[in-house]
Amino acid sequence: MTDYRPGQCNIGSEQRQRRARIAALAFLTAAVVVAAYLAGDLPEPLLLVVFVPLAVGFEWAFQANESFCVRLALAGQYAFGDDREEVPDAANRRTDQLYAAKITVTSVLLSALVTAALVFAL
């Protein structure tokens, strides 16, 4: 028995915790980039690189919070534990893929907004 729900849940608690750790590391990296800029160690154009760790942080934080892995959804799979299982129903795979796209687009847009705010504020 799994907790798989199309477009809602395709990973278990272990994977959620892993994603939360990666998100925290990505946000910490973004903070280091901003701190380096504020300290004068990073030229202004390079402040734009903060976009990358922010995008990773948002994406993985959403995945952790939503119990949903974008990569597994795009592969038509789910995983609760060590084993991956195939999503047998084509409609469920499509639902997963649409939700994965929503997570990614939202993450990229949030990262772009925060990056733009940082560039204009600093």
* Domain residue ranges in the chain: 13-121
Has residue 2 got a pLDDT over 70? Answer: no
pTM of the model: 0.92
Average pLDDT in the chain:
95
Nearest CA to 16 out of 56, 51, 52, 68 is that of 68
At residue 82 the predicted structure's pLDDT band, cuts being 50, 70 and 90, is confident
Give residue 3's pLDDT.
Answer: 86
- CA-CA distance, 100 to 113, in Å (whole number)? 20
**pLDDT one-digit tens code per residue, 100-112:** 999 999 999 999 9
With cut-offs at 50, 70 and 90, classify the pLDDT of residue 1: very low
Question: Measured between alpha carbons, how far is 26 from 34 in angstroms, rounded to an integer?
Answer: 13
For residues 75 and 102, what is the distance between their CA atoms, to the nearest angstrom? 16
